[in-house]
């Protein structure tokens, strides 16, 4: 059986670990040439080596315009094209409004929102010139409902949803589809470090009664990038186990 992404190239940011790493693996399993991009280039290189075959790593600081241009140019030079961008890179610096400093605000907005803009713009220019491509952005369920102690993160992810809607309007006629995914509570290195009672609370607010796996999100990215989703554009897909946000 032919794999869905044979002959195509996918660039995944924040691919050294977590959802990004699982997403890179999912595209690779479907036959794509995968560029794993991360500020932690050794981590991305280790992930690419684990995948083997048509996978390689790229050093990328999504918040730096020069770094973004160099990384995108490197992927195109090495693989010839970029068919799919998964704008996955993101960070948190949590704190309540009254305790959050400007540094924490700026750090999260720089990576999560500015980084999405910079990488998206660079890849959109390439895709538009070719007349085809898919851009998938990482939002979050908290962008739709808010979350205690995450003013910066929620604002950045709400901004990502806004970017997705604008880009869908601008790029659709150029042959580029744009969508985003809003994950709920997903098991990652970040959640693994949380206290047990917090994790129990997360599960309790999720109707399916469990945390999501990185592979759950990765499979959704693969679907949205595939020809099976060829008429899905400008949408926000929740991968959240039916999450009902509390008022916490």
Under 8 Å between Cβ of 218 and 19? yes
Long-range contacts of 68-75 (CB under 8 A, 24+ apart): 68/115, 68/118, 68/119, 68/122, 69/122, 71/37, 72/11, 72/119, 72/122, 72/123, 72/126, 75/9, 75/11, 75/35, 75/37
Is 153 among the residues known to form the active site?
yes
Tally of residues, the chain = 248
If you ran DSSP here, which 8-state letter would residue 17 be given?
Answer: S
What radius of gyration do the chain's Cα atoms show? 17
Catalytic hit among 27, 117, 153, 185: 153
- The Cβ of residue 34 has, within 10 Å, a number of other Cβ atoms equal to 33
Q: Strands of the chain (E only): list them.
A: 9-13, 33-38, 55-59, 84-87, 133-138, 176-183, 236-239
Would you please indicate which residues are annotated as catalytic (active-site) residues? 153
């Amino acid at each position: 059986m032919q794999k869905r992404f044979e002959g195509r190239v996918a660039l995944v940011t924040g691919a050294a670990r977590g959802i990004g790493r699982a997403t890179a693996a999912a595209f690779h399993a479907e036959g794509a040439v995968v560029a794993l991009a991360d500020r932690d280039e050794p981590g991305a290189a280790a992930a690419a080596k684990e995948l083997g075959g048509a996978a390689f790593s790229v050093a990328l600081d999504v918040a730096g315009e020069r770094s973004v241009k160099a990384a995108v140019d490197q992927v195109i030079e090495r693989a010839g094209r970029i068919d799919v961008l998964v704008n996955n890179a993101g960070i948190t610096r949590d704190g309540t409004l009254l305790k959050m400093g400007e540094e924490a605000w700026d750090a999260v907005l720089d990576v999560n929102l500015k980084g999405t803009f910079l990488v998206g713009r660079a890849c959109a220019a390439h895709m538009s010139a070719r007349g085809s491509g898919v851009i998938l952005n990482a939002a979050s369920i908290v962008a739709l409902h808010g979350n205690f102690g995450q003013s910066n993160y929620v604002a950045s992810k709400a901004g990502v949803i806004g970017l997705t809607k604008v880009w869908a309007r601008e790029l659709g006629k150029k042959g580029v589809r744009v969508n985003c995914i809003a994950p709920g509570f997903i098991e990652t290195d970040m959640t693994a470090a949380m206290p047990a009672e917090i994790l129990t609370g997360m599960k309790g607010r999720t109707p399916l009664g469990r945390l999501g796996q990185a592979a759950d999100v990765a499979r959704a990215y693969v679907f949205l990038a595939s020809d099976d989703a060829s008429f899905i554009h400008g949408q926000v897909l929740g991968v959240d186990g039916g999450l009902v946000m509390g008022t916490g």
